[in-house]
Amino acid sequence: MGNVAFFFAMQGQMLTRSLLAWDLTGEATALAYINLVVAVPMIFASLLGGAITDRVERRRLIIIGQTLIAANEIFILILLLLGKLEFWHMLCTAFVTGCAFPFIMPARMAITMAVVGPQRLQSALAFTSGAMNLNRVLGPAVMGVIIAQWSFAAAFILSASLYCCAIACMFGIKRNHSMNREEVKKPLLKDIAHGFTYIRHNRPVLICLLFGLIPMFLAMPFQNILVMLAEEVWAVGESGVGTFMATGGIGGVIGAIWIVKRGDSAKRLNVMLGSTLAFGIFLALFTQTSNFYYALIPLLIANTCASASQTINNASIQLLIEDKVRGRISSFMMLSFGLTPIGVFPMALAADRAGAANAILAASLILILVVVGFFLFSKTLRGLDGSVADALKRSIKKSPDS
């Protein structure tokens, strides 16, 4: 319930803030600035957030972070009602949001393991992924209707209420500390450095992290140039982009449901490799399909596969790592949120030179080659199922319920 409320508000506010920034300035660059001031602190604060997650009580950290975001929404709401809102206010609150997320998400990931246990972790992460993708469709749609029928203030009232609901739900979860809470705390920078050391000496974790980040950098930025693609190939404009985004969200939900139905099967490698390859193949087919409605089919399948691959990858990493570094490693996984905006730049440059369809096609083919290369040249990746099985056994033995 808390996850659903939180992600609904988060996804809905992406649209609300963009529309409000446009309404205040009438400049397209305002949209870029809003996204930039969220992404930059998210990248730089992620490592700090992970280290702090491993040092403090995690439930409290999530509550503080979500309270900060809720206060942000209420602040904007008050300025809206008073007629005093200016664009720089939005930049400041977006920066605060970008700073808060790197503390919330690693702690949320770490606490999920404690709540559901290692044996049900993959299904729990699939449920979370499904909730995020469903809200990716519903959040902007509902907020768009509220803004059109009522006002921006009504949209901020709803989002603030949802964030407060998410905070209330966190009080129903037991307090959660890292298993190394009794150890003498090192300086914060040493804790961050230890995260890098842990990854360097734990090759399965390193390979999984790299394998998970590559699609986010190479191919997922296609979503950011869908506007250009929709106009160049199908001439469908904004309505077509909306249809594409909704189709992608539905595909993400289907992928999550597939992983939940599949259960915590030991054969993770085949699914992760196969779905990542399929993501690249169907994304390439999407760019080469001339009929708009037929193009929705490969787009749906591509997003289904991307969701399944990411869920399996995240679950594998969480099972491979020790609880005492869970926050720090989860913060490395958070970098994927920052890599996607960075990956937009080379794809956008290629789109300007060769067209959006060719740029996405090239990225898809590179992704396919990289995945094949990973499988052929990484013995560690090929042995992933065995590594995860061993780690799962150790986690079950250490679990308080075992």
| 331-378 confidence digits (pLDDT tens) | 787 776 666 666 777 888 888 889 889 999 999 999 999 999 999 999
Q: What is the DSSP string of 44-55?
A: HHHHHHHHHHTT
Which of the listed CATH numbers 2.30.29.30, 1.10.150.530, 3.40.50.40, 1.20.1250.20 matches domain 1-174?
1.20.1250.20
Instruction: Give residue limits of the domains in the chain.
Output: 1-174, 186-402
Looking at residue 298, its pLDDT comes to 97
| 255-286 confidence digits (pLDDT tens) | 988 888 876 666 788 899 999 999 999 999 99
| 174-201 confidence digits (pLDDT tens) | 887 765 555 546 777 888 888 889 888 9
Looking at residue 283, its pLDDT comes to 96
Q: What is the mean pLDDT of the chain?
A: 83
Which tokens is 281 given?
């193949």
Q: Of how many residues is the chain composed?
A: 402
Q: Residue 56 contacts by C-beta under 8 Å, 6 or more apart in sequence? A: 177
Torsion of CA 326, 327, 330, 331, to 10 degrees: -150
Looking at residue 339, its pLDDT comes to 65
Q: How far apart are CA 81 and CA 84, in angstroms?
A: 8
Confidence grade of residue 144 (pLDDT, cut at 50, 70, 90)? confident
Looking at residue 103, its pLDDT comes to 86
Q: How far apart are CA 118 and CA 398, in angstroms?
A: 10
Least confident range from 24-38, 271-285, 355-369, 383-397: namely 24-38
Indicate the fold that domain 186-402 takes in CATH.
Growth Hormone; Chain: A; (1.20.1250)
Residue in 105, 114, 337, 313 with CA at minimum distance from that of residue 217: 337
Which tokens is 128 given?
């979370």
Domains 1-174 and 186-402 share a fold: yes
Q: How far apart are CA 129 and CA 259, in angstroms?
A: 10
Q: How far apart are CA 183 and CA 304, in angstroms?
A: 42
CB 221 within 8 A of CB 340: yes
Using CB atoms within 10 Å of the CB of residue 69, give its burial: 0 to 12 exposed, 13 to 18 middle, 19+ buried: buried
Looking at residue 329, its pLDDT comes to 83
Looking at residue 376, its pLDDT comes to 93
CB 147 within 8 A of CB 16: yes
Residue in 256, 9, 251 with CA at minimum distance from that of residue 139: 9
Q: How far apart are CA 228 and CA 235, in angstroms?
A: 9
